[in-house]
Structures are given as C-alpha cells and as structure tokens.
Amino acid sequence: MNQAAPVSLLVIPGSSRTGSLNLRLARAASRIAEAQGASVHLLDLRALGLPLYDGDIEASEGVPERAGELIDAIVAADAVLLVTPEYNGFPTPLVVNAFDWLSRAPASGARPAGLKATAGKPVGLLSASPGPLGGLRSMNYLRQYLQMAFAMLVHPRQFALSRADQAFDAAGELKEEKARETVGGVVASLLELASALRAARAT
C-alpha cells in the first residue's frame, strides 16, 4: 500500500477462554495482517472487566470508564477485525455486552460518543468452530447487529473456519494452505478498504 503510515488494525477476539479456537484464529490473522504491512493491536475484552449491561448500573454509576478503552481503541484503528465463536447460533455475550456498553457511552472530552466512534468504521468478520458451519450463523447475526445498531461498514468478505479443533498446528498456525489464503484474503480486502477510506478523508 502506497502510504506513509501502515493501516492500523484492531483485532478483537470474541472469546478469552484458555485454548479458545477463535483466540488462535485472531492471533493467526494478526500475524497475517502484520505480514501484509498492517500495524495490529489485539484487544482482550475480558480484561476490560465490564459488568453485564444493566440499566440500573448505568443510572446509578454511569457507563464504566473502561468501556472508554474500547472506544479509544476503535477510534485509533483504521479498521476492526472481529473474530468470534458461535454460541447457540449467536455471537458471544462477551462481544455483545461490550458493544452494548459502548452504545451507551456519551462523549467525554476529546473522546467521541460510542456510536459516533463506530459509525463508518470498516470491520471484517472471522469465526472458528469445531462444527461444520464454522460459526457462520453467528457472523450473519453479527453483520446485521453492527450495521444496523452501530453504522459500521461490514466488509462483505468473511470466513467461517469449520473443524477448527483440527485446523491449527502446535505453533498456532493454520495447517491448511487454503485456510491461510482465505484468511489472508479477508484481511487484505479489509486493509484495502480501510486504506481507501483513509485516503478519501485526507483529500
């Protein structure tokens, strides 16, 4: 990409479980993105320690300050890559809860409101599952959720890694060349979109 600074990519795994297949996929995708010239930040949602969204908590205590860290990370990134498993056909509560809190966050100083931070931000989707669908149903729901509620630009190219429990080697790399190429294609397309949008804003 012909630009002075690399595209910044925020990678958000939808699971922080030890041994998580989606965390492995997120790390593999991060390495692929770095090889393509991107600057990558991997964000651990669990480390934010956000409580389950509750209107009473919001009314009495406000939006948790650490929700602002998610907003700051999104603002700083040119694009977001969400890598989330499927729980009964839906994205994980970890992801949905974090974005629910983000949606309630007002502007604070130089930090924009949560919904303003996400508006127009390009986002790509990956998923991994031991099952045959690879988390496809979760991604379809997440696409609608991010587009309608957060006005994010969800890239049409996505990838659901099926049989993911057999997909990684001991070093955490994808075994199959086809899987590596497909993930690389999703990442490259997202970076190209982010680069084009950044260039358009600069003119």
Q: 64 lies in which domain range?
A: 8-202
Looking at residue 158, its pLDDT comes to: 97
pLDDT at position 14 is 95
1 occurs within a structural domain: no
Spell out the per-residue pLDDT of the chain, length 203, in tens: 444 699 999 999 999 888 899 999 999 999 999 999 999 999 999 999 999 999 999 999 999 999 999 999 999 999 999 999 999 889 999 999 999 999 999 999 999 999 999 999 999 999 999 999 899 999 999 999 999 999 999 999 999 999 999 999 999 999 999 999 999 999 999 999 999 999 999 88
Q: Is residue 23 part of a domain?
A: yes
Report if residue 183 sits inside a domain: yes
pLDDT of res. 1: 43
Q: Is residue 2 part of a domain?
A: no
**Number of independent structural domains in the chain:** 1
Contacts 24+ apart (CB under 8 A), 31-37: 31/173, 32/180, 32/183, 32/184, 32/187, 33/9, 33/81, 33/187, 33/191, 36/184, 36/187, 36/188, 36/191, 37/1, 37/6, 37/7, 37/191
> Looking at residue 127, which CATH number applies to its domain?
3.40.50.360
